[in-house]
Amino acid sequence: MSMSDHNDAPSGKTRPTSGTTAPRSTLSRRSILQMAGGAASLAAAAGVAAQPALPGGPPVASTMHVRMVVNGSARQLEVDPRQSLLDVLRETLDLTGTKKGCNQGACGACTVLLNGRRVTSCLTLAVMHDGAEITTIEGLAQGDELHPLQAAFIAHDGFQCGFCTPGQIMSGVACIAEGHATSPEQIQFWMSGNICRCGAYPGIVAAVADAAGRT
């Protein structure tokens, strides 16, 4: 066979690379034009406008007052209630060490300590945390002295591009504090909420184990 004739169905994989149930053999260009309406079947029945218009929503107070202790400093903030804790840290307080990797709680790059517990700061609203204590990556070192886990990340090369690193380190600090850094396997399990696309996992595990042994 030659590749140009390769029109047979894709190997019966049940989770295909792409597809629908539309029988492939009938998908000629002609039937496609007829299916233009079919394409619209994906869009809401309402028709053309993909996004319903709800301009602005109900009238609300545009900002609310929130007090937080961030990395040991008391902060008074006026925030839009919609603002995530992550956006307040990055855009309002210019603490850009905490990263936005997915904004959907699916990567862990935005991990901070909220009242001592690790959370994904993208999936919580700043207004929910009046009076809270927040620790970000910027608040970990004591002056010039790195936190033991920060030092261990350097020593064990627990990162490459560095973008997930603040989240990994904050998560690792919590992992150790929770008592979950008891073995490499446990560390792997309890660090699986932080994705590293460079694949620095071996170094991350070694760094957390090392720092856990020192603290």
Partner 1 sequence: MLSFNFEKVRTEQDAIRAAAVGGRYIAGGTTLIDLMREEVERPEHLVDINALPMADIRADGFDLVIGALARMSDVAAHPETKRLEPLVAEALIEGASPQLRNMASTGGNLLQRVRCPYFRMLDAACNKRDPGSGCSAINGLNAGHAILGTSDHCVATHPSDVAVALVALEATMRVKGPDGERTFPVEELFRLPGNAPHLEHTLRPGELIVEIRVPGGPYARQARYLKVRDRASYEFALVSAAVALETAGGTIWQARVAVGGVGTRPWRMRAVEEALRDKPPGRNVFEAAAQLALEGARPLSHNHYKVELLPRTIVRALEMAGDVA
Partner 2 sequence: MTTNVIGIPLTRVDGRAKVTGAARYAADFNQHAQLHAVIVGATTGLGRVTALDETSARAMPGVVEVISHLNAPRLPYGPHKSFIDPAVGERLHVLQDDQVRFYGQPVALVVADTLDHAERAANALRISYAAERPVVDTHDPAAQTVEPSGSGAHGDTLRGDADRALAEAPVKVDATYDMARENHNPMEPHAVVAAWDGNRLTLWSKSQFVVNEQAEIAAIFGLPAQNVQVICPFIGGAFGTSLRTWPHVTLAAMAARQVGRPVKLVLTRKQMFFTTGHRPRTLQRVAIGATRDGRITSIVHEGNGETSRYEQFTEALLSATSYMYSCPNVRTRYRLTPLDTGTPNHMRGPGEASGIFALESAIDELSYGLGLDPIELRRRNEPTMDEGADKPFSSRSLMQCYDAGAERFGWARRTPAPRSMRDGRLLVGMGVASATYPVFFGPASARVRLHADGTAAVEVAASDMGPGTYTSMTQVAAETLGIPVEQVRVSIGHSDFPPAPPHGGSMTMASVGSAVRAACLAARDEVTRRAVADQRSPVFGAALDGIEWIGGSLRRLGDSSPGQTYHDVVASSGQPVEVHASNQRDADAASRYSMHSFGAVFAEVAIDPDVGTIRVRRAVGTYGAGRIVNPRLASSQCTGGMIGGIGMALMEQTALDTRDGRPVNAHMADYLMPVNLDIGSLEAHFVDEDDPHVNVLGVKGLGEIALVGMAPAVANAIYHATGIRVRDLPIRIEDILTA
Binding residues for partner 2 restricted to 57-116, rule: CB under 8 A: 57, 62, 80, 82-83, 87, 90-91, 94-107, 109
* Contact of residue 99 among partner 2, partner 1, none (CB under 5-8 Å per partner type): partner 2
Nearer to partner 2, 105 or 132 (CB): 105
For residue 201, give the nearest of 190, 212, 213 by alpha carbon.
190
Residue 201 partner contact from partner 1, partner 2, none using kind-dependent CB cut-offs of 5 to 8 Å: partner 2
Q: Closer CB to partner 2, residue 34 or residue 76? A: 34
Beta carbons within 8 Å of 163's beta carbon, 6+ residues apart: 99, 101, 109
Angstrom distance (rounded) from CA 183 to CA 144? 30
Determine if 14 is a binding residue for partner 2 (CB under 8 A): yes
Q: Residue 40 Cβ, how far from partner 1 at the closest point, in Å?
A: 9
DSSP string, 133-185: EEE-GGGSSBTTBPPHHHHHHHHTT--SS-SSHHHHHHHHHHHHHTT--SSHH
The reply on whether position 184 binds partner 1 by CB under 8 A is no
